[in-house]
Amino acid sequence: MASDQPALTIESLDVAYGAIRAVQEVSLAVARGRVTALVGSNGAGKSSVLRASAGLAPARSGRVLVGDTDVTRLPARKRLLEHGVALVPEGRSAFTTMTVRENLDLGLRVGRARAAAGVAATFSLDEAFELFPVLAQRADNRAQVLSGGEQQMLAIARSLLMSPSVLLVDEPSMGLAPLLVRRIFAVMADVFQRHQVSVLLVEQDTAIALELASDGYVLEFGRIVAAGPSAELRDDPRLRRAYLGEGNRP
C-alpha cells in the first residue's frame, strides 16, 4: 500500500435528513499520519460529514473509503472494529456511571479486537495515564466526578486505545473555557504527532483548528468552499473576514 494514500477519503458525499440536505457533494481526503481540519460556522454540516464517515448518519449518496476499502455500506460497529474508524463525539461523552478505568477498558476492548485482526496497538493504558495524569488519579472513581474538560480527555484517551486507523474528532472545544481548550489542543497536537494518528477534526473555532491541522477544508451550507494547506487558509483574506473575526470588530 502506497504511503501517500489517504487514511480516509470521502467522495461526493450527500447527507440528508428528510427533505433537508445537510451535506452536498463533499469530497475530502485525510492524509496518513496528519491532522485535517473541517471548519465552518454552526450548522454548516461539519458534524454530519463526520457522523456519516463513522456510519452514524446515513449517506444518501457518495462513498467513504478507509485506505482503499469502501466502507460506505458498513454499519458503525464494523467500521470501527474492522477498519478502525473511531469517533470522539461532541460534548460530554464518558459513561458517567462507570469508572474512569471501565471507560478506558471499553477502548482497550476495541484495541484488542483490532490487534486480533493484525493491527498493532500504538497507545497503551500506561501512556494514557502518563499523558492525562488526572485519569490515573481518578481511575477508580466514576467518570461523573470529572469536569467537562477531563471527560473530553477521557474520551480522547479511550479512542486512542482503539488503535484507530483514522480518528474523527467532533468539536473538542465545545462547552469548554478558552484556557482549557488551549490545553486540550496542546495535548492533542503532542499525542497525534507522536503516534502519527490520522485525524479528521471538526471544529467551530477555526483559528485553533487550523493551528493544529496541516490541511483544512472550509464548509459552508453543506458544501466545501475552500481547501488547502492550513497555512494558506489562515492567510486567505476572505476566510479571515468570515471566520477569524477580522473586520467584524467595531
Task: Give the residues lining the site for other proteins (CB under 8 A).
Answer: 54, 56, 76-77, 80-81, 87, 89, 93, 95-98, 102, 105-107, 109-110, 113, 158, 162
Minimum Å distance from CB 232 to other proteins? 33
User: Smaller CB distance to other proteins: residue 112 or 195?
Assistant: 112
CA dist 217 and 223 (Å) reads 10
Cell numbers given for 238: 476572505
Minimum Å distance from CB 91 to other proteins? 9
Ramachandran bin of 191, using left for φ above 0, alpha for ψ from -120 to 50, beta for the remaining angles: alpha
Of 129, 136, 127, 108, which is closest to residue 194 (Cα–Cα)? 127
Say if CB 134 and CB 146 are below 8 A apart. yes
User: Smaller CB distance to other proteins: residue 49 or 80?
Assistant: 80
Minimum Å distance from CB 171 to other proteins? 14
Minimum Å distance from CB 111 to other proteins? 10
Strands of the 69-70 sheet, one edge to the other? 20-30, 8-17, 59-66, 69-70
Minimum Å distance from CB 237 to other proteins? 38
User: Smaller CB distance to other proteins: residue 25 or 102?
Assistant: 102
Which helix (H) or strand (E) covers residue 226, if one does? strand 223-229
User: Smaller CB distance to other proteins: residue 135 or 224?
Assistant: 135
User: Smaller CB distance to other proteins: residue 26 or 162?
Assistant: 162
Give CA separation, 228 vs 28, 187, 196, in Å.
11, 24, 20
Minimum Å distance from CB 231 to other proteins? 32
CA atoms within 13 A on the CB side of 7: 22
CA dist 216 and 4 (Å) reads 17
User: Smaller CB distance to other proteins: residue 48 or 93?
Assistant: 93
